[in-house]
Structure 1
Amino acid sequence: MSIRYALLGLLAKQPQTGYDLFHTFKTQQIYYWSSTHSQVYKELGKMEEEHLTTHDIVYQEGSPNKKVYTITPDGERHLIEWMIHTKSKPAKIKDEFLIKTSAFHVISKEEAISLLHRMKAHNEMVVTGTGQWKEQTFQGKKPGYEQVGEYLTAEYGIRYAQMYVDWCDWAIKEIQSLPENTES
């Protein structure tokens, strides 16, 4: 159900197309929520049926028309009610790489270290990319309250990815320090 509230939160900032909303998920909310294109559009349809959003058609010559979604007053009340009165559950980690890590014993140390180096490189790119986005967006200044959510979640993303980089470094050293053919 959280995709609903993520979409309402984005629409509370400004009206957007479904494509724009999906793009935001892919670029800004990657650290704490993921969704598919079809999930976004399916939820937009449900929210419109429940009068939480509306849409306007923007007619374009030579391109497909766009639906621009807007949060309704009921949608805003629904979002606020959820934020204030619904207890957030502790995060559950669903990390495919940790599943691979838990089975490192079936591959060589060199292969495990190679996988860790690749994951480290990926997260270094995330740290750099998100840091650049944050710098371009906020230009080294603290945001106004209307942008505080983006600011805080971008910093979370940077810190999360940096933690992964640090963990990969630690894991590589741990594996390198193990004697060959160690049985548990």
Structure 2
Amino acid sequence: MSTDAPLTTTSYALLGLLGVRPWTTYELTRQMDRSLGRIWPRAQSKLYEEPKKLVRHGLARAEKETVGRRPRTVYSITPDGRRALAEWLGHPGAGPVLESEQLLQVFFADSGSTSDTLATLRAARAWAVERNADNLATARDYAAGRAAFPERAAQTMVVGRFLTEYYRLVANWADWAGHIVECWPDQPRDAEADPAEMAETLRRADWSRTPPDDCEPAPARPAPGTV
């Protein structure tokens, strides 16, 4: 195997796409954005180099083709690539990393105004609704049998449920937080925490003490802002 730069999670993400079918570099970057951009966003400039790295490692092969007068390179996975992908899947990866400018702004709301915070919360909800639109469209495509890769419905459903709950969480939290902040004075630094809401936050934070012990679906828990 090559002593080239080590493989990254992005390398394995592209290797996973090659495990589905061969792609050109352009198709890989589009598919990366379309299907993985919500869970592993990466700049296109970085993605164009990754297939070449996989080839240097012997995990993918590159074949030149001509479409009309235009040449293109098609990448496909090698047997070594499939083994490397399977090995990577055998080691649980790192958990999510939350990065939200809106949450950061709410955290430091006491240096701004209540109206600014309310605007941020409205933007957070709008973000969740916008992101969920694509998520909903994909779910409908799978339900109607017109998805691009119907044979991968089981895997897509599991990840899709996470995204569905995540976007709904953000929207419900923004609604709940909006009701709280609407009662703040004009200067957030003068706001006081509601004891009942503090107690409810503590109760919700204690959810991990009783995890489900079998394969039955865990009972749905109301999201913040719901009954």
Asked if TM exceeds 0.5, the reply is yes
Residue-pair matches, total: 181
Quick one: distance in 2 between partners of 1:151 and 1:69? 27
For normalisation by structure 2, the TM-score amounts to: 0.71
The unaligned stretches of length 5 or more in structure 2 are 1-7, 193-227
Aligned with 2:95 (options 90, 107, 123): 90
Q: Does 1:154 align with 2:178?
A: no
Greater Cα shift, 160-169 or 95-104: 95-104
Root-mean-square deviation (CA), in Å? 2.2
Percent of aligned positions that are identical? 22
Q: Does 1:18 align with 2:18?
A: no
Q: CA shift at 1:144, angstroms? A: 6.3
Q: Does 1:81 align with 2:92?
A: no
Q: CA shift at 1:145, angstroms? A: 5.8
Q: Does 1:67 align with 2:76?
A: no
The unaligned stretches of length 5 or more in structure 1 are none
Contact 1:54 / 1:70 at 8 angstroms: preserved in 2? yes
Q: Does 1:8 align with 2:1?
A: no
Q: 1:126-155 deviations in whole A, cap 9, x for unaligned?
A: 2222111221134279x9663322222222
Provide the secondary structure at the position in 2 that maps to 1:134.
Answer: helix
Quick one: distance in 2 between partners of 1:25 and 1:153? 15
Q: Which residue of 2 aligns with 1:119?
A: 124
Contact 2:105 / 2:117 at 8 angstroms: preserved in 1? no
For normalisation by structure 1, the TM-score amounts to: 0.87
Q: CA shift at 1:101, angstroms? A: 2.2
Quick one: distance in 2 between partners of 1:137 and 1:20? 21
Greater Cα shift, 74-83 or 16-25: 16-25
Contact 1:28 / 1:154 at 8 angstroms: preserved in 2? no
Aligned with 1:169 (options 166, 172, 175): 175
Amino acid across the alignment from 2:114:
K
Quick one: distance in 2 between partners of 1:37 and 1:104? 34
